[in-house]
Amino acid sequence: MNHLLAARIAAGFAMLGVAYGAFGAHGLRVQLEANHSMETWKTAVLYHLIHSVAMYVLAVTRGSLRAWTLFGAGVLLFSGSLYALALWPDLRWLGPVTPLGGVLFIGGWATLMIKKAEEKGK
């Protein structure tokens, strides 16, 4: 994948994060409050936005596409499963998906840490 496409995808992820945040605060407020899941929704949006920005920075600085991919998959699995669980709490089978997304986030940050350590050693 080229970095221009990666930047566009990351910007799209960030745009969706903002939209989901606004939609949760306004359009879905009643449902999320009825499900007692507003905090779950907010957590999904927070991680979604943080990692979308990280993806964008990696793309425009021509950083690690491996970390970019791990962050993107993490957004889909971590935030995606939390969004679904916030709306449909009976989908309990999604519970184990969330930590997998978290592991992908950790893997992305570890990739960046290791890459910087290797660069410093050169």
Q: What is the three-class DSSP state of 62? A: coil
Distances (CA, A) of 20 to 3, 45, 59, 79: 25, 7, 23, 11
User: What pLDDT score was predicted for residue 115?
Assistant: 80
For 54-108, how does the pLDDT look when each residue is reduced to its tens digit (9 = 90+)?
999 999 999 999 999 999 999 999 999 999 999 999 999 998 999 999 999 999 9
For 3-61, how does the pLDDT look when each residue is reduced to its tens digit (9 = 90+)?
999 999 999 999 999 999 999 999 999 999 999 999 999 999 999 999 999 999 999 99
What is the pTM for the complete model shown? Answer: 0.92
